[in-house]
Structures are given as structure tokens and as C-alpha cells.
Amino acid sequence: MRLPASRDTRLLLAGIAAVVALVAYLAVAFVDTHASIATATKVAPWTPHSSELVPIPLARRGKYAVRVNPAKQGSYGALVSTLLAEPPDGRRFTIHLTLKGARGDPIGVVVDEFRPGATSVYVVNTTVPATRRWRHFTFSGRVQGSWLGLGMYVYRQNNGVKRTWFALRGLTVTLVRGSA
């Protein structure tokens, strides 16, 4: 049986619309996936803790500062889970970090030693003033015992105040040799 010739193009238009929708979906998925990877690279080694990390391009190409915005009320910040892996017992370390922030509550800095099955030991637990200008800070301490590593958490309190944020850049860690 032969069907009569038809000029109905609805099926063809539906197919074209489906292809266009699929291409748009794939393009959005690609951009979302690659944008989050690019952002993660620009804010590395920092990870958010109840916050949003936003990369801020610096004058030197390829270098970024990280702005830390609160995601909710309470303590928020950025952390580096492992600043230094397996530091030798008794060795001194020095951490350099540049910070700035909206005026208000100070910025807290905690450096801890960690290992599985043990309570972390805070080797640095201090606060620094928040100012609108970049300020360089140096934190140092001595590794006490056998630990898997040193971690760092930089934080601030958000007590419902708008425009509470801070930014960080220039993180360096040095393990001083010969002082064991």
C-alpha cells in the first residue's frame, strides 16, 4: 500500500527542535562544568567552609586573590586541609599570608596538626584586624610529635551584618631545616 505524498513538515520541525534543545543543553552543561573547574583552580588551595569563594584577578597575569563571602549566618571561612604533609617532629614552620576585609570583626587564623584517631592540636590560634588595605601576616610554630600534616582555617563571624567579607592571597609555607 502506498501512502499519498504529504506536505506535512511537523515531524521534521519537531526533530530540528529536539536537536537544537539537545545542543543547548550540552552547551550549558559544558560551561557549568568547566566554569566550576576553572574557579576551583583559581581559588586553590582554598576550599569554602559555610562560604562562597570568589577569585579576584591580580595585576600579575594568572595570579588570583580569593574573596570569602558568607553563605549563612555564623562562622564562615576558607580552609586548606593540608598545608604541609608529614612535617618532621620538632621542625619549625613559617606561614605567610596577606589579608584584607570589611571593617568590623577580626579575622581568625587557626593552624592545626592532624592525624587519624587523634584530636587536632592547634599550633596557631589567633585573630588579626580586618582592614580595607592588604596587610601581610606571618604565623609560625613548631611541630610537636608525629602528625600527618598541618591544616589551616581562616574565618570570620557573620552576625547578620551585611557586607562582611574578607580576602586572602599570597599563601606560602616554609619548613625551617636544621632546627629539629
Lowest-confidence range among 22-31, 69-78, 143-152? Answer: 22-31
Residue 163 has pLDDT above 80, yes or no: no
**What is the residue-averaged pLDDT of the chain?**
81
Residue 14 has pLDDT above 90, yes or no: no
- The predicted structure's pLDDT at residue 35: 44
**What per-residue string of b and e applies to 109-124 under the rule 16 or more CB within 10 Å gives b?**
bbbbbeeeeeeeeebe
| Distance (Å, whole) CA 143 – CA 121 | 10
| Distance (Å, whole) CA 129 – CA 76 | 16
89 three-class SS: coil
- In tens, the pLDDT along 76-94 reads 999 998 888 888 888 899 9
- The predicted structure's pLDDT at residue 177: 67
More confident residue, 42 or 91: 91
Return all residues near 175 (Cβ < 8 A) that are at least 6 apart. Answer: 84, 87, 88, 91, 92, 93
State the alpha helices, DSSP H only, in 44-180: none
- The predicted structure's pLDDT at residue 7: 64
Which class is 47-176 in CATH? Answer: mainly beta
144 three-class SS: coil
